[in-house]
Structures are given as structure tokens and as C-alpha cells.
Chain A
Amino acid sequence: METGLKAFSVVILGGLDSFIGALIAGPIIGLAESIGGGYLTPLLWAGVKDIIPFVIIIIVMIIKPYGLFGEVRIERI
């Protein structure tokens, strides 16, 4: 199930309503996972690779909730 949920991190990073965003965010997440996993595994715990996409979700949510290419919606509650 975790593999399917990594797709969420791709769309969140790219922006939910943007096709180009998904195209660009996909390789970014993949590379971040592999490169980050490769560099961080000796430093931190083994298995950091699995958690990197979810940490990226949290970071994106805090910094830029609509992702890189998403449409910013100014909502009045």
C-alpha cells in the first residue's frame, strides 16, 4: 500500500490540478528517494528511503500547500 501512496506525494508536490506538475514532481520524488536514501542511510537509520516521500508531503504542506504548479485558491470560509 505504501507504494500506491507515494503517488500522493507526487501529486502534492506537483500540484493537484496540474499535469506538468505531476510530470516534473515524479522524477523529483523518485530521485529524492533514491539519492536521499543512499546518502542518509549510513547517517541515520536503515530504511530512511521509505519515509522520504511522506516527509516531503509534510514539508510541502507547511511551505507551499498548493505544490509547485498548483492553482492557488483563495478561499473564504
Chain B
Amino acid sequence: MSLPCGIRNYTYAEDMAILRTRTHWVLFVLFLAFLFTLPLYMANRWLGVANLIGITLIAATGLNILIGYCGQLSIGHAGFIAVGAYTAAILTNRFELPFLVGLICAGLAAGVVGLIFGIPSVRVKGFYLAITTIAAQFIIIWVINHWSITGGFAAEVMGINLFYYKMLAFFIGCFLAGIAGSLLAHWIGFMNAEHFTLTESILYVGMIIIGGLGTTLGPILGVVFVRLLQQGVLFLTPAIEAAFPVLPSGFASGIAPMLFGLVIILFLILEPRGFAHRWMLFKSAYRLWPFSY
């Protein structure tokens, strides 16, 4: 991370720390206090949106590990989330296990499924891997519907075990997706395969791209932006329908995908490194401002 002037890292622990300076810690405690007292004064509906943002964030961070840090393009994330959701649902409902056990098992199950579908990633790269993950997404959803219950070649040259790290990336990324899925299952309350479509997978990849690949801040900004955009479209649609009666009747339901596609295209053209990059530029700008030439 980019630190303020005068603060240097002298040990590995300092270099890797998430909360580095005292300001970080103070802000972190304040933010936790804010989060915990949120249900006291926020309306139920926006509390639901905040819940959805949090759950989506966990899954998006997992996807960020896959795409941003390890370069394994995966458009099948909704499938892995579904694995986690259904595992948690079955374990807590059918077998009466406690919530935390369901959480961990959901993560492990999704991680193992991610391992299985990550095996092709050793042989194929890039576009082919994306197609494989799309196929994985469909296979997972089909199995759910029909089952009766529910490396860097350069790194290899340097001696790092590429296969192991690719598999680890898939496992961790999908483990997080599984955890998010279990939370989603408990939050929504009933399980249906309708939520885990290919559109949802593409939405996740879009969130990562908009937020910024390969950064920790990226998924946060991307998820918040996209979920709030979805809420905004909910408000916008009746207004547009009322304002322009000449439009065909089904137009309003297509505004959300259109808008989302437009946002992704604009971001890929104008700011491919996403919101996180803009934020870092802004921080550097206000740190350097009195010294401009």
C-alpha cells in the first residue's frame, strides 16, 4: 500500500500488515462500531442492501484472488457460490448442524468443487479457461437442479510450484465463494437455483473489473458501486416508464443489463484499472499537492 510520507517498513510483518499506522487502527475501530450499530438506525430495506453488499463482497474478494492476483479468468463464480449456499442449506436444515459448522463446510465444499474445475486451468489459459468456467457454472447448476438431495511458466522456471499455486488459488477463491453462499442461504431463507445464473457470474467479474483487479480495495468499491447501481435502477425504472410512455412495454426491464454493460465498457476503455486506481491517484494527488511544479 502507499503510505504517508515518513513512514517506512523495516520488517516483513510491517510490510504485509493490513492495518499499518495508528490512523488505520482508529478508522478501523470506528468503522466496526459503525457497522455494529447500523441496525439501530438504518431502515430495514437499506439494511438488506448493506447485507447483500457484505455477502457479495466476500464472494467478490474470492474472485479477486482468482482473477486479479493469479490471472485465472473465471466466469463461473455464481456456480461456486451456489455450491456453498446449498451445502449450508442442506447441512443446517436436513442434518440440524449449527450455523458455523454449515459455514465452514460450505466453504470447504465449494473449495473442493473449485479444485475439481480448476484442474483444466493447468492445461489451458485465458479465453479457453473462461469457456471452461462457463461450462463449470452450467454443470454445477444442472447437478443442483437434478440431484435428488443437493502458474506462471516464469514462476515455474524460478522453481515455484506453479500447479500447486493455481490449485490453491482456485481453492481459496471458491472457499470464499462458498462462505458467501452459506451466508446468502441463511439471509434469503429459501433456496432456488434462479439466483445463480450466468448473468450473476458475469456481474461478479464486472464488479471486480470496475473496482480494480488485483487490489484489496478493488472488490469493495466495485461491489458497493454495482449493488447501489442496481438499487438506483430500481428507483429509476418507474420514473423512466412514467416519463416516456412512447417506449415499448418491456423496455424498463432491460435498462439494468444495458446500464451495467455500458458501465463495464466505459470502465474498460477509460479506466481499466478500476476505481481503486483512481482512488490511489487521488491519494497521491492530495499528498503531493503543495509540491506541484
> Contacts of B105 on A, CB cut-off 8 Å?
none
Whether the pair B135, A54 counts as a contact (CB closer than 8 A) is yes
Whether the pair A65, B146 counts as a contact (CB closer than 8 A) is no
Whether the pair B131, A12 counts as a contact (CB closer than 8 A) is yes
Does A35 have its Cβ within 8 Å of any Cβ on chain B?
no
Does B22 have its Cβ within 8 Å of any Cβ on chain A?
no
> Contacts of B134 on A, CB cut-off 8 Å?
5, 8
Does A43 have its Cβ within 8 Å of any Cβ on chain B?
no
A-B contact count (CB 8 A): 56
Whether the pair B139, A54 counts as a contact (CB closer than 8 A) is yes
Task: Say whether, besides A46-B146, A75-B125, A51 and B139 are in contact (CB < 8 Å).
Answer: yes
Whether the pair B138, A54 counts as a contact (CB closer than 8 A) is yes
Per-residue CB contact flags for chain B residues 207-247 toward chain A (1 = under 8 Å, else 0) read: 00000000000000000000000000000000000000000
Whether the pair B153, A76 counts as a contact (CB closer than 8 A) is yes
Rounded to whole Å, the gap between the CB of B94 and the closest CB of chain A is 20
Instruction: For the complex, give the distance between the alpha carbons of A50 and B135 in Å.
Output: 12
Whether the pair A2, B138 counts as a contact (CB closer than 8 A) is yes
Does B48 have its Cβ within 8 Å of any Cβ on chain A?
no
> Contacts of A46 on B, CB cut-off 8 Å?
146
> Contacts of A8 on B, CB cut-off 8 Å?
131, 134-135
Per-residue CB contact flags for chain B residues 53-77 toward chain A (1 = under 8 Å, else 0) read: 0000000000000000000000000
> Contacts of A77 on B, CB cut-off 8 Å?
152-154
Of chain A, the residue at the smallest CB distance from B153 is: A77
> Contacts of B142 on A, CB cut-off 8 Å?
47, 50-51, 54
Does B27 have its Cβ within 8 Å of any Cβ on chain A?
no
Rounded to whole Å, the gap between the CB of B207 and the closest CB of chain A is 20
Instruction: From A1, A45, A47, A65, give the contact of B128 (CB < 8 A).
Output: A65
Does A31 have its Cβ within 8 Å of any Cβ on chain B?
no
Whether the pair B198, A1 counts as a contact (CB closer than 8 A) is yes
Rounded to whole Å, the gap between the CB of A39 and the closest CB of chain B is 17
Task: Say whether, besides A5-B134, A76-B153, A77-B153, A61 and B120 are in contact (CB < 8 Å).
Answer: yes
Q: How many residues of A contact B (CB 8 A)?
A: 22
Does B87 have its Cβ within 8 Å of any Cβ on chain A?
no
Whether the pair B198, A62 counts as a contact (CB closer than 8 A) is no
Instruction: For the complex, give the distance between the alpha carbons of A18 and B78 in Å.
Output: 31
> Contacts of A9 on B, CB cut-off 8 Å?
135
> Contacts of B154 on A, CB cut-off 8 Å?
77
Of chain B, the residue at the smallest CB distance from A51 is: B142
Whether the pair A65, B123 counts as a contact (CB closer than 8 A) is yes
The listed residue with most A CB atoms (<10 A of its CB), out of B125, B135, B142, is B135
Of chain A, the residue at the smallest CB distance from B199 is: A1
> Contacts of B139 on A, CB cut-off 8 Å?
51, 54-55, 58
Does A57 have its Cβ within 8 Å of any Cβ on chain B?
yes
Does B119 have its Cβ within 8 Å of any Cβ on chain A?
yes
| With A47-B142, A65-B124 already in contact, 7 other A-B pairs whose C-beta atoms are closer than 8 Å | A1-B198, A45-B147, A47-B145, A51-B142, A61-B123, A61-B131, A77-B152
Closest 5 CB pairs of A and B: A77-B153, A57-B135, A54-B135, A61-B120, A45-B146
6 contacts between A and B (CB under 8 A): A5-B138, A8-B131, A54-B138, A61-B128, A76-B153, A77-B153
